Structure 1
Amino acid sequence: MKLTKLSIVLLTGLLAMNVLAACSNNEAAEKLTLVSAEEGVEVSKENPIVINEEEKMVQIYATVNGKYLVTPTRHGANWVEGKYGDQSVFKTYADPLLFNEALMKLGGTPAVDKGGDASKEFEETAEGKFIKGDKVNVSITWEGAGKEYDINEVG
């Protein structure tokens, strides 16, 4: 199984705005722009985030962090330039502010507005503590995989 280059496909029928928005850099986000799948661009390290408005899907480019295939972590995917960029199963090159912009463009509802009070992004119920905002379906695929896997199958 070739796990060196992965494309994390975020199916945004249901969205969560703060999946990657924790660690960001405004200056870096200003240099980046959203790339549309309709432009014929595929997700890659050079184009780490691609939005497909027709399918309501955002694709981000990531690589496997082999350490967390054998060591537990609570992070599925983190931005490589963020504070916890090396503490996840997948290291993504997609800037979190641009990711947030892509999800907003598809009509997603954030847990908390950018720059808002982060302490209000959680909801406590009898079942536990949950992040507010729309849910995200996350699937993973890579060259030669032949199918998409739910993130829980590979993490």
Structure 2
Amino acid sequence: MTRMSGLDRSCAEMLLTAARLMENRYNERLRELGLTHASMRILAALDQLGRKTQAGLAKNLRLQPQTLGSTLTRMEGQGLVLRESDAADGRTILVSMSPRGKEAFARAAGLEAELEAEAGIGVEGLRESLTELVDTLGAQRWDTEGLPEHSATA
């Protein structure tokens, strides 16, 4: 493996670079399935949580509601998600995976393991450390009350 000798790179910079490189690889593979990293995160959350309010989904994913809304609009146009008004409260929008979204999620489910194997990294210790980092940094930014433990999906 070629290292960038002579460069003093901070841990934060290396994390950002590694994340960007992995996301680029991930998006290339997901694009073949008609998905993006953002849409895969949403499908993974819906797979785990089931039908959810749009506001609750945004909070769980630690996204601004506007950001989630624009992504859901695109995904709805692709037939990946369904949005409907809650019968009990018409102002509340409920989001669920469509049958097409479930199929796309199933096809992409093994992709993360494939990418980790290609990168040649031992991921369990790394995953635990990154989960702790995401939880710690996320708690500083977001109100995490009521969120399931390790709720950041990626």
Report the TM-score range of the alignment, normalised by the length of the smaller protein.
Answer: under 0.3
The structure whose residues are more often helix, as a share, is 2
Question: Scaled by the length of structure 1, what TM-score is found?
Answer: 0.26
The structure whose residues are more often strand, as a share, is 1
Question: Scaled by the length of structure 2, what TM-score is found?
Answer: 0.26
